[in-house]
Chains A and B, each alone.
Chain A
């Protein structure tokens, strides 16, 4: 299996107003192979969100190295990072983060817009993705006309738009009831096992973490567990 993500000595600290800095990550080392399904757990303030932001190229580390798909990304400029987010990573958020004023098909097509795909091709791909997540008949609906579970499916369809090798999900079921959560997790599982998409998800819930095949626990900026799912 090829290595998709490799981080070494990854540090992040936030400067304080009165001088000095708060360290959040204390030199993280980790390797994730293509096709893995990793759950990240940890109490709030443990640094897991910061870690995810760096993995998602939304934030840059203070020190250390990060290779994504063979490319060193720790010190890339904002435009190159934007390109990586567009092509290599799909995001699924707790709050769905869909644009409220445009149709769900347009939401799904947004990453394609920034990839420079033409209008007709965008539309076609968006409808195709919505069919994949079971919303093929609702493509012209607005996000607020859908239930939470449906909105999260739209977000997943959007994450898949540019066929990225990696999906990062931050508490994707945090706003959903148990039944809907199970459906979403089943969808993730299918993406991982059938399409070989690497999944990294942050969660508080042991039930959700159990769907993964590897568990990483954070505490105070360190990794305290990395291995079998033992929750």
Chain B
């Protein structure tokens, strides 16, 4: 049989029993659809994590005061002597660090015109924008000079713009924070949510000195809540941690046998873990979906075996008039393959539709990638050939005389 006549024959055979063809394909459609959908959900979760990580900044360490312990009584986190701006200045001299950003956050009521809003106000230095890889949509960042002088200027996040300023351009407007006037000099770009679901755009950044002295007041002068530092690269992370530990132990005059009364957290490591678990989830979802594809394949094998038995006489007739074994093999193999390819196409459509629906209804990030579609489609075709081969071989090995005698 010529190569282009065989697909036409297979197509005709499938068309001859449409209901069965459709039902057989259903298994394939659901299988491929599930794989495409699950890969989309998995990819979506991964991309969410990736975005959150890149929004956070890279090669970051966060230093915060630990617990104090006196005579066996241990306080909670933050009960140890606080970190100060002087600590931050000392850290800035460390060779493994590229940026040091002390942070002093507190919650405060904002008022602009007739509107008010409660949010977190972060006292920071210009380095904060560097370590967080955060740019401005509009306006200017404040300078080290502003920090030195404690200037009352503010950078506002997108959520603040939306909630307080409505349609007006916030640049140059005066915002009252705890009744103190601050001039808005910049608007931060949209940052989205953190991995734990906090809205990073609901924030106001002001010079740290203004926060410490004018707005909130501190127990000790120069107190900061925590310090974010950025290592020169991922490779410098360990050096940075060691240098910071040494520096802080010296500055806090800890005895050699005393525990650290501060903590250094590696944010990249936390992010890595999150990324890893997202990837594991994606792989697991894909694996579960593949099972349904496998079941669909077995369904096809089942139907093809029934079909071979039913059509034994037809096979006998075809052999009598000159079909070779390879012709019969090819015919049944092509039928199985065609079932899978058509089912696969419909499944891809179903998967894309399902992914869109999940994205719309559940508000989850879903990413349908071309490679996921190609993968599941090729897998479906492979299932067709694999599960179609056995029935096709059964058909091809029939003896013409016996096949013709079959009722």
Contact = CB atoms under 8 A, between A and B. Distances in A.
B327 A114 contact: yes
Q: Which of B2, B314, B325, B327 has the most CB of A within 10 A?
A: B2
Contacts of A93: 404
A118 B2 contact: yes
Interface string A91-106: 1010001110110000
Contacts of B400: 58-59, 85
Contact of A97 (B5, B9, B317): B317
A113 B5 CA distance: 7
A110 interface: yes
Contacts of B5: 113, 119
Interface in A154-169: 158, 161-162
A186 interface: no
Nearest to A96: B317
B315 to A, nearest CB: 11
B50 interface: no
B378 interface: no
A47 interface: no
A115 interface: yes
Q: How large is the interface on B (under 10, 10 to 19, 20 to 34, 35 or more residues)?
A: 20 to 34
B322 A82 contact: yes
Given A113-B1, A113-B5, A97 B404 contact: yes
Interface in B193-246: none
A147 to B, nearest CB: 20
B325 A82 contact: yes
Contacts of B318: 99, 110, 114
Contacts of A111: 321-322
B325 A101 contact: no
Given A78-B325, A85-B321, A113 B9 contact: yes
A85 B320 contact: yes
B186 to A, nearest CB: 73
B326 interface: yes
A86 B16 contact: no
B371 to A, nearest CB: 38
B12 interface: yes
B324 interface: yes
Contacts of A116: 1-2
Contacts of B2: 113, 116, 118
B153 to A, nearest CB: 81
Given A97-B317, A101-B16, A114 B322 contact: yes
Nearest to B12: A102
A99 B321 contact: no
Contacts of B314: 99
B324 A58 contact: no
A99 B322 contact: no
A98 B321 CA distance: 11
A212 B316 CA distance: 28
A67 to B, nearest CB: 20
A113 to B, nearest CB: 6
B325 A59 contact: no
A219 to B, nearest CB: 22
Interface string B304-344: 00000000011011111111111100000000000000000
A79 B12 CA distance: 25
A56 interface: yes
Contact of A58 (B1, B16, B313, B404): B404
A87 interface: yes
B324 A78 contact: yes
A53 interface: yes
Contacts of B16: 101
B325 A91 contact: no
Contact of B325 (A53, A79, A85, A158): A79
Contacts of A76: none
A102 to B, nearest CB: 7
A98 B399 CA distance: 19
B325 A87 contact: no
Interface in A83-138: 83, 85-87, 91, 93, 97-99, 101-102, 110-111, 113-116, 118-119
A114 B12 contact: no
Q: Which of B316, B324, B326 has the most CB of A within 10 A?
A: B324
Given A101-B16, A113-B1, A114-B327, A83 B321 contact: no
A97 B401 CA distance: 13
B30 to A, nearest CB: 28
Contacts of B324: 78-79, 82-83, 114
Given A91-B321, A110-B318, A114-B1, A79 B326 contact: yes
Given A116-B2, A118-B2, A158 B401 contact: no
Given A53-B401, A82-B322, A82-B323, 7 more contacts: A59-B401, A78-B325, A97-B317, A99-B317, A101-B13, A114-B323, A119-B5
Q: What 9 A-B pairs come out closest when comparing CB atoms?
A: A86-B322, A114-B322, A101-B16, A82-B324, A58-B400, A111-B321, A59-B401, A79-B324, A58-B401
20 contacts: A58-B320, A58-B400, A58-B404, A79-B325, A79-B326, A85-B320, A85-B321, A85-B400, A87-B322, A91-B321, A98-B317, A101-B13, A102-B12, A110-B321, A111-B321, A113-B1, A114-B318, A114-B322, A116-B2, A162-B322
Interface of A: 53, 56, 58-59, 78-79, 82-83, 85-87, 91, 93, 97-99, 101-102, 110-111, 113-116, 118-119, 158, 161-162
